[in-house]
A and B are shown apart, each in its own frame.
Chain A
Amino acid sequence: MARVMQRPHGMRLPTFVGGITAAFAAACWGFPVDQSTECAAYVRCIEAIDRAASAASGTPQVTDLDRYQDGGACWGNPELGKGCTTSCRRALDRLRAREPALPVECAP
Protein backbone atom coordinates (compact mmCIF):
# COMPACT_ATOMS: atom_id res chain seq x y z
CA MET A 1 0.00 0.00 0.00
CA ALA A 2 2.78 2.41 0.93
CA ARG A 3 4.48 1.67 -2.40
CA VAL A 4 1.28 2.45 -4.32
CA MET A 5 0.86 5.77 -2.53
CA GLN A 6 4.47 6.86 -3.13
CA ARG A 7 4.75 10.06 -5.14
CA PRO A 8 6.12 9.16 -8.60
CA HIS A 9 9.61 10.44 -9.19
CA GLY A 10 9.54 13.94 -10.69
CA MET A 11 5.85 14.63 -9.97
CA ARG A 12 5.26 17.92 -8.17
CA LEU A 13 3.61 17.65 -4.76
CA PRO A 14 0.50 19.78 -5.60
CA THR A 15 -0.16 17.61 -8.66
CA PHE A 16 0.21 14.47 -6.58
CA VAL A 17 -2.12 15.71 -3.82
CA GLY A 18 -4.65 16.97 -6.38
CA GLY A 19 -4.63 13.66 -8.18
CA ILE A 20 -5.13 11.70 -4.98
CA THR A 21 -7.99 14.00 -3.95
CA ALA A 22 -9.68 13.71 -7.36
CA ALA A 23 -9.29 9.92 -7.33
CA PHE A 24 -10.74 9.77 -3.83
CA ALA A 25 -13.69 11.97 -4.80
CA ALA A 26 -14.35 9.90 -7.92
CA ALA A 27 -14.18 6.68 -5.91
CA CYS A 28 -16.66 8.04 -3.36
CA TRP A 29 -19.09 9.90 -5.58
CA GLY A 30 -18.41 8.80 -9.15
CA PHE A 31 -19.00 10.65 -12.39
CA PRO A 32 -22.13 12.15 -13.96
CA VAL A 33 -24.57 9.78 -15.64
CA ASP A 34 -27.31 10.21 -18.25
CA GLN A 35 -30.93 10.90 -17.34
CA SER A 36 -32.77 7.58 -17.02
CA THR A 37 -35.72 6.66 -19.24
CA GLU A 38 -37.87 6.32 -16.11
CA CYS A 39 -37.21 9.91 -15.05
CA ALA A 40 -37.57 11.23 -18.61
CA ALA A 41 -41.02 9.60 -18.59
CA TYR A 42 -41.79 11.05 -15.15
CA VAL A 43 -40.84 14.56 -16.28
CA ARG A 44 -43.00 14.25 -19.42
CA CYS A 45 -45.92 13.05 -17.31
CA ILE A 46 -45.76 15.80 -14.69
CA GLU A 47 -45.35 18.45 -17.39
CA ALA A 48 -48.44 17.07 -19.15
CA ILE A 49 -50.40 17.08 -15.88
CA ASP A 50 -49.35 20.72 -15.36
CA ARG A 51 -50.52 21.65 -18.86
CA ALA A 52 -53.86 19.93 -18.32
CA ALA A 53 -54.35 21.58 -14.92
CA SER A 54 -53.43 24.98 -16.34
CA ALA A 55 -55.93 24.57 -19.17
CA ALA A 56 -58.67 23.42 -16.82
CA SER A 57 -58.22 26.15 -14.23
CA GLY A 58 -57.04 29.01 -16.40
CA THR A 59 -54.19 29.52 -13.94
CA PRO A 60 -50.68 28.40 -14.91
CA GLN A 61 -49.45 25.41 -12.95
CA VAL A 62 -45.74 24.71 -13.19
CA THR A 63 -43.81 22.09 -11.22
CA ASP A 64 -40.11 22.64 -10.68
CA LEU A 65 -38.60 19.42 -12.06
CA ASP A 66 -35.01 20.67 -12.20
CA ARG A 67 -33.59 17.80 -10.15
CA TYR A 68 -34.99 15.21 -12.55
CA GLN A 69 -34.37 17.03 -15.82
CA ASP A 70 -31.50 16.02 -18.06
CA GLY A 71 -28.40 17.53 -16.43
CA GLY A 72 -30.17 17.91 -13.06
CA ALA A 73 -28.80 17.04 -9.63
CA CYS A 74 -30.07 13.46 -9.98
CA TRP A 75 -27.44 12.69 -12.57
CA GLY A 76 -24.35 13.83 -10.65
CA ASN A 77 -23.19 10.28 -10.06
CA PRO A 78 -24.42 6.69 -10.46
CA GLU A 79 -25.61 6.38 -6.85
CA LEU A 80 -27.80 9.47 -7.09
CA GLY A 81 -29.04 8.37 -10.49
CA LYS A 82 -30.09 4.98 -9.16
CA GLY A 83 -32.09 6.53 -6.30
CA CYS A 84 -33.77 9.07 -8.56
CA THR A 85 -34.66 6.42 -11.12
CA THR A 86 -36.31 4.31 -8.42
CA SER A 87 -38.22 7.36 -7.18
CA CYS A 88 -39.50 8.13 -10.70
CA ARG A 89 -40.55 4.53 -11.36
CA ARG A 90 -42.44 4.31 -8.07
CA ALA A 91 -44.11 7.70 -8.54
CA LEU A 92 -45.28 6.78 -12.05
CA ASP A 93 -46.62 3.43 -10.80
CA ARG A 94 -48.59 5.23 -8.09
CA LEU A 95 -49.96 7.85 -10.45
CA ARG A 96 -51.10 5.23 -12.95
CA ALA A 97 -52.75 3.16 -10.23
CA ARG A 98 -54.45 6.12 -8.58
CA GLU A 99 -55.50 8.45 -11.39
CA PRO A 100 -57.95 7.03 -13.92
CA ALA A 101 -57.65 9.90 -16.41
CA LEU A 102 -53.97 10.75 -16.82
CA PRO A 103 -52.70 12.53 -19.94
CA VAL A 104 -51.47 10.21 -22.69
CA GLU A 105 -47.90 11.30 -21.91
CA CYS A 106 -48.19 9.31 -18.65
CA ALA A 107 -49.05 6.02 -20.33
CA PRO A 108 -46.52 3.16 -19.92
Chain B
Amino acid sequence: MRRALVLAALLLLPERLAVAHTPGKLLASTPYEVRNPADSYALFGVFHTGAERFVVKLAHATRFAAPVEIFVPHVDELRRHRPAYAVVGPGLPAPSAAELAALPAPLPAGWGAEVELNQVTPRPVLFESIMRRFYWTSEPLAVVFPAGPSEIWVWSPAKTTGKFGLGFGVEEGGGYLAALDDWSLYAY
Protein backbone atom coordinates (compact mmCIF):
# COMPACT_ATOMS: atom_id res chain seq x y z
CA MET B 1 0.00 0.00 0.00
CA ARG B 2 2.79 2.40 0.98
CA ARG B 3 4.68 1.62 -2.22
CA ALA B 4 1.55 2.31 -4.24
CA LEU B 5 1.07 5.67 -2.53
CA VAL B 6 4.69 6.70 -3.13
CA LEU B 7 4.50 5.64 -6.76
CA ALA B 8 1.28 7.54 -7.22
CA ALA B 9 2.80 10.65 -5.65
CA LEU B 10 5.91 10.44 -7.84
CA LEU B 11 3.91 9.94 -11.00
CA LEU B 12 1.35 12.63 -10.25
CA LEU B 13 3.88 15.45 -10.01
CA PRO B 14 5.71 16.70 -13.09
CA GLU B 15 9.32 15.63 -12.49
CA ARG B 16 10.68 19.13 -13.02
CA LEU B 17 8.38 20.44 -10.28
CA ALA B 18 9.81 18.29 -7.54
CA VAL B 19 13.30 18.59 -6.14
CA ALA B 20 15.12 15.44 -5.19
CA HIS B 21 18.54 13.87 -5.29
CA THR B 22 19.39 12.09 -8.53
CA PRO B 23 19.55 8.40 -7.59
CA GLY B 24 22.44 6.12 -8.48
CA LYS B 25 23.81 2.68 -7.67
CA LEU B 26 27.24 2.19 -6.08
CA LEU B 27 29.27 -0.93 -6.80
CA ALA B 28 32.50 -1.79 -4.99
CA SER B 29 33.93 -3.14 -8.23
CA THR B 30 33.53 0.04 -10.28
CA PRO B 31 34.01 3.70 -9.30
CA TYR B 32 30.91 5.83 -9.77
CA GLU B 33 31.63 8.78 -12.05
CA VAL B 34 29.63 11.89 -11.21
CA ARG B 35 28.77 13.60 -14.48
CA ASN B 36 27.77 16.95 -13.04
CA PRO B 37 28.78 17.77 -9.45
CA ALA B 38 26.48 20.80 -9.59
CA ASP B 39 23.56 18.34 -9.34
CA SER B 40 22.79 16.47 -6.15
CA TYR B 41 22.93 12.72 -5.79
CA ALA B 42 21.72 9.91 -3.54
CA LEU B 43 23.91 6.90 -4.28
CA PHE B 44 22.93 3.56 -2.81
CA GLY B 45 25.03 0.46 -2.27
CA VAL B 46 25.32 -2.69 -0.18
CA PHE B 47 28.21 -3.96 1.91
CA HIS B 48 28.20 -7.72 1.34
CA THR B 49 31.45 -8.54 3.17
CA GLY B 50 32.16 -5.35 5.10
CA ALA B 51 35.60 -5.15 3.49
CA GLU B 52 34.54 -3.22 0.40
CA ARG B 53 35.56 0.30 -0.50
CA PHE B 54 33.15 2.26 -2.70
CA VAL B 55 34.62 5.10 -4.75
CA VAL B 56 32.84 8.10 -6.22
CA LYS B 57 34.86 10.22 -8.64
CA LEU B 58 34.15 13.90 -9.27
CA ALA B 59 35.76 16.64 -11.27
CA HIS B 60 34.75 20.27 -11.05
CA ALA B 61 36.18 23.42 -12.59
CA THR B 62 35.96 25.44 -9.38
CA ARG B 63 36.00 24.91 -5.62
CA PHE B 64 32.50 24.42 -4.33
CA ALA B 65 30.79 23.75 -1.01
CA ALA B 66 28.09 21.12 -0.66
CA PRO B 67 26.59 19.01 2.11
CA VAL B 68 27.56 15.34 2.32
CA GLU B 69 25.84 12.69 4.42
CA ILE B 70 25.75 8.93 4.78
CA PHE B 71 22.69 7.04 5.91
CA VAL B 72 21.40 3.52 6.44
CA PRO B 73 17.85 2.16 6.67
CA HIS B 74 16.36 2.56 10.12
CA VAL B 75 15.87 -1.14 10.80
CA ASP B 76 17.00 -3.04 13.86
CA GLU B 77 19.46 -5.35 12.09
CA LEU B 78 21.42 -2.30 10.89
CA ARG B 79 21.61 -0.65 14.29
CA ARG B 80 25.39 -1.13 14.44
CA HIS B 81 26.03 -0.57 10.72
CA ARG B 82 27.86 2.76 10.55
CA PRO B 83 29.65 3.22 7.24
CA ALA B 84 32.21 6.03 7.10
CA TYR B 85 33.16 8.28 4.22
CA ALA B 86 36.04 10.56 3.28
CA VAL B 87 36.18 13.26 0.65
CA VAL B 88 39.74 13.07 -0.65
CA GLY B 89 41.59 15.29 -3.06
CA PRO B 90 44.32 17.87 -3.48
CA GLY B 91 44.00 20.93 -1.25
CA LEU B 92 41.81 19.23 1.34
CA PRO B 93 42.98 19.36 4.98
CA ALA B 94 45.53 16.91 6.33
CA PRO B 95 43.61 14.30 8.33
CA SER B 96 44.43 13.64 11.98
CA ALA B 97 46.48 10.57 12.84
CA ALA B 98 43.33 8.74 13.94
CA GLU B 99 41.51 9.64 10.72
CA LEU B 100 44.51 8.65 8.63
CA ALA B 101 44.66 5.28 10.38
CA ALA B 102 40.94 4.75 9.73
CA LEU B 103 41.12 5.38 5.98
CA PRO B 104 40.58 2.25 3.87
CA ALA B 105 43.47 3.06 1.52
CA PRO B 106 46.58 5.26 1.52
CA LEU B 107 46.04 8.84 0.39
CA PRO B 108 47.64 9.72 -2.94
CA ALA B 109 50.64 12.05 -2.54
CA GLY B 110 49.59 15.66 -2.04
CA TRP B 111 45.97 14.79 -1.27
CA GLY B 112 44.13 15.60 1.94
CA ALA B 113 40.84 14.36 3.31
CA GLU B 114 37.70 15.44 5.07
CA VAL B 115 36.85 12.32 7.06
CA GLU B 116 33.43 11.49 8.53
CA LEU B 117 33.60 8.44 10.78
CA ASN B 118 29.85 8.54 11.47
CA GLN B 119 30.12 8.43 15.25
CA VAL B 120 27.54 11.00 16.37
CA THR B 121 25.75 9.74 19.47
CA PRO B 122 22.84 9.39 19.98
CA ARG B 123 22.48 8.36 16.40
CA PRO B 124 20.52 10.99 14.43
CA VAL B 125 17.48 9.93 12.42
CA LEU B 126 16.44 11.35 9.06
CA PHE B 127 12.97 11.16 7.52
CA GLU B 128 13.30 11.18 3.74
CA SER B 129 10.14 12.73 2.34
CA ILE B 130 10.31 11.45 -1.24
CA MET B 131 10.55 7.73 -0.48
CA ARG B 132 8.82 8.20 2.89
CA ARG B 133 11.44 6.23 4.81
CA PHE B 134 13.43 6.73 8.02
CA TYR B 135 17.21 6.41 8.01
CA TRP B 136 20.01 6.63 10.52
CA THR B 137 22.29 9.40 9.34
CA SER B 138 25.80 10.65 9.97
CA GLU B 139 24.24 14.15 9.82
CA PRO B 140 25.11 16.35 6.85
CA LEU B 141 28.47 18.09 6.79
CA ALA B 142 29.36 21.04 4.55
CA VAL B 143 32.48 20.07 2.61
CA VAL B 144 34.53 22.32 0.34
CA PHE B 145 35.41 20.22 -2.71
CA PRO B 146 38.60 21.26 -4.49
CA ALA B 147 38.78 22.41 -8.08
CA GLY B 148 39.82 19.52 -10.28
CA PRO B 149 39.54 15.84 -9.40
CA SER B 150 38.37 14.55 -6.05
CA GLU B 151 36.87 11.34 -4.74
CA ILE B 152 34.52 10.16 -2.03
CA TRP B 153 35.46 6.86 -0.39
CA VAL B 154 32.88 4.87 1.56
CA TRP B 155 33.85 1.97 3.79
CA SER B 156 32.67 0.06 6.81
CA PRO B 157 35.15 0.56 9.70
CA ALA B 158 33.60 -2.20 11.84
CA LYS B 159 33.23 -4.49 8.79
CA THR B 160 29.47 -4.55 9.23
CA THR B 161 27.30 -5.42 6.24
CA GLY B 162 24.09 -4.04 4.81
CA LYS B 163 22.61 -1.25 2.73
CA PHE B 164 23.70 2.36 2.84
CA GLY B 165 23.14 5.60 0.96
CA LEU B 166 25.51 8.47 0.28
CA GLY B 167 23.92 11.85 -0.31
CA PHE B 168 25.69 14.93 -1.52
CA GLY B 169 24.53 18.29 -2.76
CA VAL B 170 21.25 19.98 -2.01
CA GLU B 171 18.20 18.34 -3.54
CA GLU B 172 18.06 20.41 -6.66
CA GLY B 173 17.49 18.01 -9.50
CA GLY B 174 14.78 15.79 -10.85
CA GLY B 175 15.58 12.37 -12.23
CA TYR B 176 14.21 10.59 -9.20
CA LEU B 177 11.94 8.44 -11.37
CA ALA B 178 15.09 6.44 -12.19
CA ALA B 179 14.63 4.97 -8.71
CA LEU B 180 11.78 2.93 -10.12
CA ASP B 181 14.32 0.94 -12.16
CA ASP B 182 15.93 -0.44 -9.01
CA TRP B 183 13.23 -0.11 -6.41
CA SER B 184 14.50 -2.74 -3.97
CA LEU B 185 17.84 -0.96 -3.63
CA TYR B 186 16.37 2.44 -2.80
CA ALA B 187 13.44 1.31 -0.69
CA TYR B 188 13.55 -1.10 2.20
Which residues of chain A have a CB within 8 Å of any CB of chain B?
21, 24-25, 28-29, 42, 46, 61-68, 72-74, 76-77, 79-80, 83-84, 86-88, 90-91, 94, 98
Contacts and interface: CB of A to CB of B under 8 A. Distances in A.
B64 A64 contact: yes
A87 B172 contact: no
Interface of B: 9, 12-13, 17-19, 62-69, 93, 129-130, 139-144, 169-172
Given A29-B129, A73-B170, A87 B18 contact: no
A44 B63 CA distance: 16
Task: Please name the 3 residue pairs, one residue from A and one from B, whose CB atoms are nearest each other, closest first.
Answer: A91-B142, A87-B67, A87-B140
Most buried by B among A46, A62, A73: A73
Contacts of B130: 28
Contact of A87 (B19, B64, B141): B141
Nearest to A79: B129
A91 B92 CA distance: 13
Counting chain B CB atoms within 10 Å of each CB, which of A62, A83, A88 scores highest? Answer: A83
B142 A68 contact: yes
Contacts of A76: 19, 170-172
Contacts of A84: 67, 140, 142, 170
Contacts of A80: 19, 170-171
A10 to B, nearest CB: 24
Contacts of A91: 141-143
B63 A64 contact: yes
B2 to A, nearest CB: 15
Contacts of A72: 170
Contacts of A21: 12-13
Nearest to A98: B93
B174 to A, nearest CB: 12
